[in-house]
Amino acid sequence: MSSLTRATLLAIGLVSLLAEAAMAGGYERVRIPHDDYQLDGVMFRPTGPGPFPAVVALHGCGGLWREPDKLSMRHSDWGERLAGTGLIVLMPDSYGSRGLGSQCGVKDVTIRASRERVGDAMAARRWLQERPDVRRDAIALLGWSGGGSSVLAAIRKDRRPADRQPDFARAVAFYPGCRAQSESGSFEARLPTLILMGDADDWTPPAPCDFLAKAARARGEPVELVLYPGAVHDFDHPRLDRREKEGVAYSASGTGKVTIGTDPAAREDAIKRVKAFLMGK
């Protein structure tokens, strides 16, 4: 074997190893241009050339990672599930990109659900629309908790994108905080929206979301709220023992203590509903 052939094979092997590393855990690390900086994120992709429908998925106050270089279990689980359904899943890292960790215990946040994180979602949509393997008119928006609050802020009629690109097609919000939107009276949904919550959630109580959804439907807006009996915050987590969490900035009781944990029945139903909803079924 000539030295040139050997060097070529080594180079090919190196490229292959780098590609495998980039796709570790089923995802690829990506960078999204946004204003004057780069927004980091991860992307899950189905096999095949596409073009595929896609979803921008927004993390909650805990961020995207459970530890450096290890994606949280919830995000890995949902990313792989939705990619297996035929969706490209893009998860922008709103906190890590700005050098921040968990914001769950921070009252005066600098990266607001209704402002900066909505901007992140819009930048992620535009980035996806430039890809040849994405259906530009079939990009949905999904979020958990604080990310769910950003979803509700992003889909208001008065926040319609001004870039003349196709809008988000539909939206899913897991246990969002709805109080600010319901009290302001400014919420009007421009997209089909699915809200999923546990009726025993004491972190983001469901009553404001129930009010919001009922008012939206009375106006003829396609907003559906599903309440799971006995379920609490994080009910869709793949494996989280039910327990009390302390040090939360805002809780229903005002004590900073909330209940979190997986609810298997609610999780199973939510997986089926979300897959069908995002695929337009």
For residue 27, the cross-strand partners are: 44
In a domain, 28, yes or no: no
- Please check whether residue 14 lies inside any domain of the structure: no
Which of 89, 86, 90 has its CA nearest to residue 50? 86
Read off the pLDDT of residues 77-101 as tens digits, 9 standing for 90 and up: 999 999 999 999 999 999 999 999 9
Residues 167-220: tens digit of each pLDDT: 999 999 999 999 888 777 779 999 999 999 999 999 999 999 999 999 999 999
Strand partners, 39: 32
pLDDT of residue 15: 33
Question: What pTM was estimated for this model as a whole?
Answer: 0.89
Predicted pLDDT of residue 95: 95
Domain encompassing residue 108: 33-278
Residue 80 CB coordination number (10 Å)? 15
Is the residue at 50 inside a domain?
A: yes
Task: Establish if 54 belongs to a structural domain.
Answer: yes
Question: Whole-angstrom Cα distance, residue 221 to residue 192?
Answer: 7
Q: Is residue 5 part of a domain?
A: no
3-class secondary structure per residue, the chain: CCHHHHHHHHHHHHHHHHHHHHCHHHEEEEEEEECCEEEEEEEECCCCCCCEEEEEEECCCCCCEEECCEECHHHHHHHHHHHHHCCEEEEECCCHHHCCCCCCCCCCCCCCCCCHHHHHHHHHHHHHHCCCCEEEEEEEEEEECHHHHHHHHHCEHHHCCCCCCCCCCCEEEECCCCHHHHHHCCCCECCCEEEEEECCCCCCCCHHHHHHHHHHHHCCCCEEEEEECCCCECCCCCCCCCEEECCCCCCCCCCCCEEECCCHHHHHHHHHHHHHHHCCC
**Which pLDDT does position 182 carry in this prediction?**
78
pLDDT computed for residue 203 by the predictor = 97
Could you tell me the two tokens for 51? 């073009």
Going residue by residue through the chain (281 aa), what tens digit of pLDDT does each one get? 443 344 433 333 333 333 333 344 589 999 998 877 899 999 999 999 989 999 999 999 999 998 888 999 999 999 999 999 999 999 999 999 999 999 999 999 999 999 999 999 999 999 999 999 999 999 999 999 999 999 999 999 998 988 889 999 999 999 999 988 877 777 999 999 999 999 999 999 999 999 999 999 999 999 999 999 999 999 999 999 999 999 999 888 889 999 999 999 999 999 999 999 999 87
Task: Measure the CA–CA gap between 176 and 154, rounded to whole angstroms.
Answer: 13
Kindly state whether residue 22 falls inside one of the protein's structural domains.
no
Residue 161 inside a domain? The answer is: yes
Total domains present in the chain: 1
- The CATH number linked to 68 is 3.40.50.1820
Residue 151 placed within a domain:
yes
